[in-house]
Structure 1
Amino acid sequence: MRSVDDDLTARARIRNAALELFGAEGVNRVSLRAVAARAGVSHALVLHHFGTKEGLRKECDAYVISLVRGGPEADLEDTAGLTAMLEAGAPVRLYLGRAFLDGTPEAAALFDEIVEASGRWLEQGVGEGWAHPSEDPRARAAIYVTWLLAPLAFGAHLSRVLGVPDLHDMDTMMRYSRAAIEIFTNGVFADDRALTAWDAVRKERRSR
């Protein structure tokens, strides 16, 4: 007779196998039988625990997003959740990147939540003097979060350009995240010619 502990262990194995396969290949390209084979369980046991592939996907979403949020008591503004995501295993990060690209409702809600928290954090920085004010604070917060999360979605391209076999290696992550912080801190352009040109285009369009 199967014990409760055995069921919980099997459920976790199935979820972890799905995280790995869904993240690497996409939900639509992976069958429940493939997940069962990777987890070392029967197809019937996968159906017993999750019912359908959609049920398994929702379980994966909930698990990954709980890691990013850092638990029910965590505040995304303390960066604990984003740190947990960076320190999580590669399958978790790959899955989250895939979820953002697929636009699942859970991932969309998480993205919105991170943008709101980042917006409050940046405005706090403006008040305290360690962040510059912005003409459009909400757009800045959204772009900031998108930039931070971009390696999750463009991992294969970033890995190729940087010439590294594993983008999820911690040393590699420290390399490209440092480059991002350098941009945020020091900027890229040495003068305002690009911004002036952009403002000129906007002014011309508004005058039409």
Structure 2
Amino acid sequence: MPAADDLAARERIRDAALNRFGRDGINRVTVRAIAADAGVSPALVIHHFGSKEKLRKACDAHVMALLRDGGAADARHRATLGDGSRLAALLEAAAPARRYLARAFLDGSPEAAALFDEIVEVTTAWLAEGERDGWARPTEHPRARAAIYVSWMLAPLTLSDHLERALGVHDLADTGTAVDYMSVAIEMLTRGVFSGDGVRQAWRSLERDDRNDGDDGTDRADEGEA
């Protein structure tokens, strides 16, 4: 098989696996089913990837490449996303990749945990770059900010059934639908939700009260038992 055809077959198998894993879950998918979707033999799947587990790792690597590099979607939509979010770029990439992420986190495997941690690391670095370039506000808690940001951005994937019902849409993985709800998310992230500084001041007051309770060796639960 010529090198170009060999590469095309490998990518076709990977894309078929993304689709199958995202739809049915990794544990329920067979190499035979992936091969049938890709139009190749099961032997060719094994030839390229060695095993279903190694194919899953290749899918993880593909998703992370979208995050690190921004992907083609980031270039296409940079005008509408400003400096762009690499996670938002993933949400606007191929629907199978979005479904794959959703299924991976719902499955709750150690591999999914490692994938989440890697996404947080990538996002921490990306937001630090934003601070240096002036499009992200500084924070004293960079990793916590990145972890919360990632959780917010992934929520539509893992809560898709409920969000589809609340928004009156059929499929959140559809690119057009993703762009619509992401526009609301971007508005919230760039403009904020609360006006004024009242909510922040109230929270800081609560933090001070909590610290004071800890300093005198008591807490509200102890006081209630007295």
* Structure-2-length-normalised TM-score: 0.71
* Alignment CA distance shift 1:196-1:92 (3 Å): same
CA distance in 1, matches of 2:207, 2:57: 44
Aligned to 2:224: none
Task: Kindly state the Cα deviation for residue 118 of structure 1 after the two structures are TM-superposed.
Answer: 1.7
Aligned to 2:165: 160
Runs of 4+ in 1 over 4 A off after TM superposition: none
Task: Kindly state the Cα deviation for residue 186 of structure 1 after the two structures are TM-superposed.
Answer: 2.9
Aligned to 1:93: 98
Query: 1:15 touches 1:56 (CA, 8 Å); kept in 2?
Result: yes
Is 2:111 aligned against 1:111? no
Secondary structure at the aligned position of 1:151 is classed as helix
CA distance in 2, matches of 1:166, 1:62: 25
Q: Tell me, which stretches of 5 or more residues in structure 2 are unaligned? A: 75-82, 219-226
Aligned to 2:192: 186
Query: 1:115 touches 1:145 (CA, 8 Å); kept in 2?
Result: no
Identity %: 45
Secondary structure at the aligned position of 1:165 is classed as coil
Query: 2:70 touches 2:90 (CA, 8 Å); kept in 1?
Result: no
Aligned length: 199
Aligned to 2:63: 64
User: In structure 1, what residue type is equivalent to 2:122?
Assistant: E
Aligned to 2:179: 174
Aligned to 1:27: 26
Aligned to 1:16: 15
CA distance in 2, matches of 1:7, 1:142: 38
* Alignment CA distance shift 1:90-1:130 (3 Å): closer
Matches within 5 A, 1:44-63: 44-63=43-62
CA distance in 1, matches of 2:168, 2:3: 46
RMSD: 3.2
Query: 1:68 touches 1:82 (CA, 8 Å); kept in 2?
Result: yes
CA distance in 1, matches of 2:34, 2:127: 36
In our comparison, the structure showing a higher alpha carbon Rg is 2
Task: Kindly state the Cα deviation for residue 196 of structure 1 after the two structures are TM-superposed.
Answer: 5.4
The equivalent position to 2:211 in structure 1, one of 200, 203, 206, is 203
Q: More displaced, 157-166 or 15-24?
A: 157-166
Aligned to 2:80: none
Residues 68-91 of structure 1: CA distance to partner in whole angstroms, max 9, x if unpaired?
Answer: 22279x9xxx54643541331100
